[in-house]
Structure 1
Amino acid sequence: MIEWKQPAFFLELLVILTSSLISVVVFRRLRIPDILAYLFAGALIGPYALGLVKDDENIRLFSELGVTFLLFDLGLEFSLPRLLALRRSVFGLGILQLTLTIAVLSGALIWFGGYSAAASLVIAGALTVSSTAIIVRELYELKLGNRHHAQLSVGVSILQDLAAVMLLILIPALGVTPDQPVYEQIAWTIGSTLLLGGFLLGVARWVLPHVFYEVTKIQSEEIFVLTTLVIVLLSGWLMNSFGLSMALGAFIIGVMLGESEFRHQVEASIRPFRDILMGLFFASLGMKLDIGLLSGEWSMLLLGTVLVVLCKLAMTIVSALIVGESLNTACKAGLILAQVSEFGFALIALATEVGILTTDTSSRVLLIAWATMALSPLLIRYNFEISQVLAGVTGRRLSARDKESEHIPPDLAGHVILAGYGRVGQMIGKFLQANDIPFIAMDIDSEQVKRGRKDGELVIYGSCDRIELLEHCHIGRARLAILTFKSLKEAQRVVSKIRSSGYVLPIIVRTQHHSDYTGLIMAGANHVVPEMFEASLLMAAEVLTMLGLAKAEVEEQVDAERKRHGHLKWTSARQS
């Protein structure tokens, strides 16, 4: 009988994937980014902890492929029109914030840490770059993507991603041997990058569309996926052959394919490989984390984390104030950008590989970066409250009403407060105006505010989740308030605050979903309008009517469905 011996690499790969799977499941339950889950899994099974996996050449190969696909994905998402649309934040605030933060961090590392200029530049660059993935995900979940400070933060993070790409180009040049002049290596690196980059841009612009067009004729998903993989790996191999980063070639190809008609199909086909390889990359980085440092140097690492967050926050605030942003916007943007990016990990890994950083140094930096990413969701979710605290330190209270107070008539009374001035809000306002009922509207979309003011309406910028802004709209003298919320918990908190402050006006709450009516009614809402629920009932009623059912019978079924969900009972109980 033949005995099959399992290779050590197979077992190590199995351990990495299993531990990563468990970590990701647990971390997602805790609403912690997946990147931290992979880093934790790698640190746990790595040589500094359980020692189940060794950081060998095979694992490093997979991790390098992970960086390559990471940059390829960034290239697909990169959009020159989008960058130009955010040019004020990118070329103004972004460049200033990036320059000041790198200068302060690298200067501190040289002066107080005794690091070399090359090591200080790499560490500062890695810590300065913020995670676009975390920022966009958190802002999307919190429904804050269209706010001004959120758009500024996204624009700055895009610029930082591009800066990370440039550092990936220069790091090999910074790690040259003493007998090789640095300026010659930098010149060779830049020249090679421009030459090969131009070649890849030409291929991606004029050749690859024809290649994908011929591939799509075959109508085979497997061939399309294989073609995409070959193109990404070929671009990386070409760059690597000239001593450059594989990831750079993949990024260039990704940028060009991102502007083509095949972008979405390419992105969908490459995603499974990208996610797995990126997971292996971050797990391999986790293996370099010396957990023992936490027991011996935890106080210094904690101090380092706090200093990095404060430095990035301070430099963002200073930069935003210089370009003319308000202190409110500056503080919020600084809190959003306070974490370290996944590209920072890639920079540290490459710098360690070429000898710029020692293993101990990279482990300390990675632990600090890990901690900033763990703090990031909290900093983003509570940026307004933290900004209020920061304002207290400066002796100035931040409020959404600061710039809007001049637009609100001091004698406004007998009006309706209309929170949300989109299509629904504008329609309500039209009926109010037709019946000579005054109203004041608010919206977090600056374009909606501009259009409303242009039409002569009383519209201000702000959100109804701030009780201070509602008070500034003279809620005590208002006849009715129509409040729109994305979060039911936030709606319950604000309504409770209004009632506890002694305001007795009727309140209509608009929500997207139809759950937890009881909490809103008990908090003090007079009526709750679940938009998705009501829209579905309206559509169902139209369907039944078109199919020949009597209108009275349809209305009876719709009312029964509302009653089954408790909606009629709860609203009528409050109104009575």
Structure 2
Amino acid sequence: MAVETQGTDLIQLVALLGAGVVAVPIFKRLGLGSVLGYLSAGVVIGPFGLRLFTDPQSILHVAELGVVMFLFVIGLEMRPSRLWSLRSEIFGLGLAQVLTCGGLLTVLGIAAGFAPAASFVAGMGFVLSSTAIVMQILDERGETSTPGGQRIVSILLLEDLAIVPLLAIVTFLAPAHEDAGETSRWLSIAIAAGAIAGLLVVGRWLLNPMFRLLATAHAREVMTAAALLVVLGAALVMQLGGLSMAMGAFLAGVLLSESSFRHQLEADIEPFRGILLGLFFLSVGMSLDLGVIARDWPTIVMAVIGYMALKSLGIYVVARLFKADHSEALTRAAMLAQGGEFAFVLYAAATASGIFTANVNAMMTATVIISMALTPLAVIALKWVLPKKEQSLDGLDIADGLEARVLMIGFGRFGQISAQFLLSEGIDVTAIDDDVEMVRSASRFGFKVYYGDGTRLDVLRAAGIERADIVAVCTDSRENTDRIVELVRSEFPLTKLYVRSFDRQHTLKLRAQGVDFEIRETFESAFAFGVQSLLGLGLSEEHVAEVASDIRSRETERLAIQQSGGSVTYTNVHGKLQPQPLTVPKRAPKALNEEAEKATADAAE
């Protein structure tokens, strides 16, 4: 019997991991994001899908630790000084949004015929956006540290704080607790304040000495265990104090944000955070009660549409009042329009207190989960709603009527370094780039760069290509490079063409197009790196020079073979790549064929 139980547990574990491994890559490839992949996978393997799980709440309780660890990692990035600088956004913008949206949703519930107390709890629960989903989307979009992302983080922090007074309000509104004494309420407040104070004391004076002591043991697993202890211990203290576990983890992270162990802690927590956060989304998907949706779908559909639309409107209005532009306000409304994981806590407390019936709780929970699932789709839809940002050309010189010996197309890192050689010898260089910020940035460092798209014939003529001795193509895009080379070779066949190549195959293609010079962007730097590595290991300069000469000549031979239509294959012999017999076309010179059979592997590319 025990073996059978263990087998069932193992099947469920494999199903959890397998569902995430299969669904997430598919949804990310479709551009729908990992969150929607996890939610969909949860529905498939849950009680209303394949029924591999019948009690998603048991998994949800464990998976909530993913949110806890996520907040800890966010706290590590929030130094106290940085958090203090966001105080106006947290307690100004965040509070304004919570109160505005809470009022709108409460009125909507009353208008729909619900009791005022139930309408208030339902609306305020939906106001608490999903920290896990929003932070995951911000992270995937690389916007967590942007000003707009920081404002969203500030709002989420305020909403997480709001769960504490909201739970207290549920106690006041509960019919069964009308005669509850003031003593118990003040005692709860005192316990919560004591939990916060205790956590601050431990974090301020005990955590750093503890990690310094553990570091002297030089036991990696002990440091990992200590990191988990800090996160889970802080969460437990806050939970015992009647507060949010996630808020406890966040405070612990903030207290350790200026510690010398911050990066080590983040590295230790990251694997657990990622896996548990995935499990959280899976369990939320499993919790979607399809039976309730089938029975009460008109009410749930109206609730999802009404709540998300009204909350989005409130968020947009508040954002505009706080001087956000249309694009940022609309983005914020789309990201924060859903209900969140703390709504489940608030609705469970309302059900236990008699404010909600079990059926209302099920419908509101389904409403929140559906809104969470719709959020990634709403964010994707923004691409079609928001107009593309047009680059301002104010203050920029447009390429027109120019003349120089060298026309350089693309002025990124590669172009900047190359241009210094020419400018140092007093050679006239006309540099053009279609990146506005690059043009402005170059001007601040003393480079004169003109705005222009090198893939357009009229721009090339205006930039003086007909009078240039050399056209240097240094763009950061292989596709743009190919278009420019084809254009120049077609319209200006006698112009010398020097091109930045991206890899071996690109080099062969450029040579076939007859460019005068090409160089792979990393070849020479990697070559110099290899030379210095041998010198650093104590080999003589003469021997290193001989090795470098041999490798360079063999690389030239390999390219010549491939350019003439041959191929080079390798096999692993005792841990080293060795060349196999080559397939060389009959037109290749005999000497080249003999040398090719001695070619070594191209380990770099």
Match of 1:45 in 2: 45
Match of 1:394 in 2: none
Match of 1:217 in 2: 216
TM-score by length of 1: 0.71
Q: Deviations over 1:92-139 (max 9, x none)?
A: 699658845973586257337747233223313316996233323334
> Which deviates further from its counterpart, 434-443 or 126-135?
126-135
Match of 1:484 in 2: 475
Match of 2:468 in 1: none
Match of 1:132 in 2: 135
| Equivalent residues of 1:66, 1:277 under 8 A apart | yes
> Which runs of structure 2 are paired with 1:73-222 in the superposition (5 Å)?
73-80=73-80, 96=93, 99=96, 103=100, 107=104, 110-111=107-108, 114=112, 116-126=119-129, 131-139=134-142, 151-176=146-171, 177-178=174-175, 179=177, 193-222=192-221
| Pairs aligned (count) | 524
Greater Cα radius of gyration, structure 1 or 2: 2
**Percent identity over the alignment?**
22
**Aligned mates of 1:248, 1:233 — CA distance in 2:** 12
Of 429, 443, 459, 1:437 maps to 429
Match of 1:262 in 2: 261
Shift of 1:368: 2.4
> Which runs of structure 2 are paired with 1:398-413 in the superposition (5 Å)?
398-400=389-391, 402=392, 404-409=393-398, 411-413=400-402
Shift of 1:60: 4.4
Of 365, 368, 379, 1:365 maps to 368
Q: Deviations over 1:236-273 (max 9, x none)?
A: 22222222222222221122223212223223333343
**Aligned mates of 1:315, 1:552 — CA distance in 2:** 65
Q: Deviations over 1:46-82 (max 9, x none)?
A: 2333333233764343134333333223323334466
Of 400, 414, 424, 2:403 maps to 414
Q: Which amino acid aligns with 2:396?
A: H
SS of equivalent residue, structure 2 residue 289: coil
Shift of 1:211: 1.1
Match of 1:393 in 2: none
Shift of 1:205: 1.8
Q: Which amino acid aligns with 1:492?
A: E
Q: Do structure 1's residue 70 and structure 2's residue 70 form an aligned pair?
A: yes
Match of 1:339 in 2: 335
**Aligned mates of 1:474, 1:306 — CA distance in 2:** 52
Shift of 1:552: 5.6
Q: Which amino acid aligns with 1:477?
A: A
**Aligned mates of 1:204, 1:26 — CA distance in 2:** 39
SS of equivalent residue, structure 2 residue 48: coil
Q: Deviations over 1:371-425 (max 9, x none)?
A: 222564x468xx4x75437xxxxxxxx521x2x2432157452364553444x34
> Which deviates further from its counterpart, 542-551 or 232-241?
542-551
Shift of 1:174: 4.0
Match of 2:601 in 1: none
Q: Which amino acid aligns with 1:371?
A: L
**Aligned mates of 2:372, 2:510 — CA distance in 1:** 40
Q: CA RMSD in A?
A: 5.1
Shift of 1:208: 1.0
TM-score by length of 2: 0.68
Q: Judging changes above 3 Å, is the alpha-carbon distance between structure 1 residues 119 and 476 closer, same or farther for their aligned structure 2 residues?
A: farther
Match of 2:16 in 1: 19
> Which runs of structure 2 are paired with 1:551-570 in the superposition (5 Å)?
553-563=550-560
Shift of 1:155: 2.3
**Aligned mates of 1:65, 1:560 — CA distance in 2:** 58
> Which runs of structure 2 are paired with 1:213-252 in the superposition (5 Å)?
213-252=212-251
| Equivalent residues of 2:57, 2:287 under 8 A apart | no
**Aligned mates of 2:317, 2:2 — CA distance in 1:** 62
| Equivalent residues of 1:239, 1:246 under 8 A apart | yes
Gaps of 5+ in 2: 352-359, 466-470, 535-540, 567-605
Shift of 1:156: 2.7
| Equivalent residues of 2:89, 2:154 under 8 A apart | no
**Aligned mates of 1:240, 1:275 — CA distance in 2:** 22
| Equivalent residues of 2:66, 2:276 under 8 A apart | yes
Q: Which amino acid aligns with 1:407?
A: L
Shift of 1:203: 0.9
Gaps of 5+ in 1: 140-144, 390-397, 570-576
**Aligned mates of 2:22, 2:504 — CA distance in 1:** 28
| Equivalent residues of 1:127, 1:344 under 8 A apart | yes
Q: Deviations over 1:20-58 (max 9, x none)?
A: 423333421442544333322322232333333233764
Q: Which amino acid aligns with 1:359?
A: A
Q: Judging changes above 3 Å, is the alpha-carbon distance between structure 1 residues 211 and 110 closer, same or farther for their aligned structure 2 residues?
A: same
Q: Judging changes above 3 Å, is the alpha-carbon distance between structure 1 residues 519 and 427 closer, same or farther for their aligned structure 2 residues?
A: closer
